[in-house]
């Protein structure tokens, strides 16, 4: 399995289609996933640490899991078929529940759990974004490096269409 982290959410123009970008923790491949507006909002709010006045659906789900004495241990992106990503929520007792990838990612941020990706998913849908800057490998954690990475990804997205990821 490949560990991923969420880089951010962006709305692509002119289609107004939201996209979540993930990156390999120990690699240079990225995984773009086109998602719905509600899920994009849920992911962006969680990433920014915004707590809504009333719980969103993903907040409610995490509250229910906690109230039942369980926790979400990890999220795994298990498959991609015809551009549709599939995921699983893995609970602390070993129970696995199927999920849409976007919902699983929104839950993962709230549960503060690891995000995994099946190698076949990364092989099928992963992309490399080359870095022409000579940055230090550990500099990626700095805000400046994250901004450079987001800028490079935006430049990459300017020339790509969702159909480019179909086989």
Report the CATH number at residue 121. 3.10.690.10
Residue ranges making up the domain that contains 114:
2-165
* Domains of the chain: total: 1
- pTM flag (> 0.85): no
Q: Token pair for residue 51?
A: 């707590």
Name the strand (E) or helix (H) holding 33: strand 29-34
Are 96 and 89 in contact by the 8 Å Cβ rule? The answer is yes
What are 102-136's pLDDT values in tens digits?
A: 999 999 999 999 999 999 999 999 998 765 544 44
Average pLDDT over every residue of 145-149: 63
């Amino acid at each position: 399995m490949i560990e991923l982290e969420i880089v951010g959410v962006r709305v692509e123009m002119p289609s107004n289609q939201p996209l979540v970008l993930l990156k390999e923790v120990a690699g240079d491949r990225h995984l773009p996933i086109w998602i719905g507006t509600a899920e994009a909002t849920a992911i962006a709010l969680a990433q920014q640490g915004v707590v809504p006045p009333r719980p969103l659906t993903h907040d409610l789900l995490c509250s229910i899991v906690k109230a039942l004495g369980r926790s979400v241990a990890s999220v795994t992106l298990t498959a991609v078929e015809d551009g549709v990503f599939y995921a699983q929520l893995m609970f602390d007792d070993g129970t696995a529940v199927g999920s849409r990838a976007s919902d699983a990612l929104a839950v993962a941020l709230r549960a503060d759990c690891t995000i995994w990706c099946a190698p076949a998913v990364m092989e099928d849908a992963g992309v490399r974004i080359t870095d022409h800057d000579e940055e230090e490998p550990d500099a990626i954690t700095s805000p400046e490096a994250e901004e450079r990475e987001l800028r490079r990804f935006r430049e990459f997205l300017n020339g790509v269409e969702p159909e480019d990821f179909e086989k």
